[in-house]
Amino acid sequence: MKKLFLCGLAFAAVLLCNCAGEIQNAPQSNENQVVKAIMARRSIRKYKDTPVEHEKLETIAKCGINAPSGMNKQPWEIRVVENQELINQVNDVYKKLNAEAVAKDPSFKNMFRNAPNIICVAGEQNSGLDLGLLGENMMLAAQSLGLGTCCLGGPVHFLTNTEEARFFIEKLGFSEGYSLMYILAVGYPDESPDAKPRDEAKVKFIN
């Protein structure tokens, strides 16, 4: 009987703690998990070599395509690159053609800000807004899974304008009418940079 009572008491205490947690968390934005993830995200440019687990990449991609898009057109295609050999091959081309820049960077591992995995995002014409929403969803999902990301526009010009890198774009196999717009570097962070400053004056409340 005493045991049963103690069990009941413990159950009630757990329930109370959970409810109290929910009530406490609701109005306080600094305790909210989504807000926390947004505020903690940084562009990461140093990664551990460990590739990201397939399940986590699946979750990130799924969160990406659940972003809103104008008239639900979903004008995107994404390619999650897990093939390390493909990344190494295209990186070899980059290193060959950018030997000087690579030599100057002692932390250089690869052209994708040293990430072990990348997600290549292509879009139809004028799909920039939708693609941005897709990307932020993926970055925040990655953040909440303990991963770091960096949105990369830089490599797009190289990849789409270098004859020797054409094999890479071909391997991604985007549909007709879709162009590579950005690449998301993904991996386990090997640095913890400070937040970049934000201009609070850009926000005005109109009462």
Ligand X SMILES: Cc1cc2nc3c(=O)[nH]c(=O)nc-3n(C[C@H](O)[C@H](O)[C@H](O)COP(=O)(O)O)c2cc1C
Burial 56-89 (b: 16+ CB within 10 A, else e): bbebbbebbeebebeeeebbbbbbbbeeeeebee
Residues that bind ligand X (CB under 6 A): 42-43, 45, 113, 150-154, 182, 196
User: In the bound complex, which residue of the shown chain has the CB atom lying closest to ligand X?
Assistant: 154
Phi and psi of 197, rounded to 5°?
Answer: -65, 145
* Closer residue to ligand X, CB minimum distance, 67 or 176: 67
* Closer residue to ligand X, CB minimum distance, 57 or 152: 152
Instruction: State the minimum distance, in angstroms, from the CB of residue 158 to ligand X.
Output: 10
Residue 113, SS3?
coil
* Closer residue to ligand X, CB minimum distance, 45 or 87: 45
Phi and psi of 90, rounded to 5°?
Answer: -70, -30
Instruction: State the minimum distance, in angstroms, from the CB of residue 127 to ligand X.
Output: 13
* Closer residue to ligand X, CB minimum distance, 104 or 196: 196
Instruction: State the minimum distance, in angstroms, from the CB of residue 92 to ligand X.
Output: 20
For residues 198 and 200, give the distance between their C-alpha atoms in angstroms, rounded to a whole number.
6
Instruction: State the minimum distance, in angstroms, from the CB of residue 54 to ligand X.
Output: 25
Helix (H) or strand (E) holding 82: none
